[in-house]
Structure 1
């Protein structure tokens, strides 16, 4: 038995498509807002700190992007 026989066989990377690499409906919606980067930063902040109050800068950055992209009109967002 050769050394090569013990190695696991791998698929051709062109044929192996990981489903996680494909954008899901949520990703498509976020990307369409133009604020995907800001959303990711906000989500990462909350994941790390587990407290929205600790993510005020990220929230404001997302809010400003949201307004700049005209998403307020698209989603009928109202400022409090």
Structure 2
């Protein structure tokens, strides 16, 4: 690397390795039965950067969570 700290212009781009193996978080979400709803909620937030604009997705996730019997997975609950 040159003394200016920047890579030379002729440096080939680094190869990106995709990891298709689910990690522990992905496995836990998958086990809830609500992975699709979780993905939609996360995608909405990523796109809009404001949870308040993702109320429809949040409602769908909450309904899925309840319907799949996941209430015992968390310490805090809606009454």
* TM-score of the aligned structures, taking structure 2 as reference length: 0.73
Q: Which runs of 4+ in 1 moved over 4 A?
A: none
Q: Which has the higher helix share?
A: 1
- Structure 1 gap ranges (5+): 1-17
Q: Kindly state the Cα deviation for residue 75 of structure 1 after the two structures are TM-superposed.
A: 2.5
Q: Give CA-to-partner distance per residue, 1:26-71, whole Å, 9 cap, x none.
A: 0000000000000000000000000000000000000000000000
Structure 2: unaligned runs, 5 residues or longer: 1-16
User: 1:26 maps to which residue?
Assistant: 25
Counterpart in 2 of 1:62? 61
Q: Which residue of 2 aligns with 1:79?
A: 78
Q: Secondary structure at the residue paired with 1:20?
A: coil
If the length of structure 1 is used for normalisation, what is the TM-score?
Answer: 0.72
Please give the alpha-carbon distance, in whole angstroms, between the structure 1 residues aligned to 2:71 and 2:42.
Answer: 20
> What CA RMSD, in Å, does the superposition of the two structures yield over aligned residues?
1.5
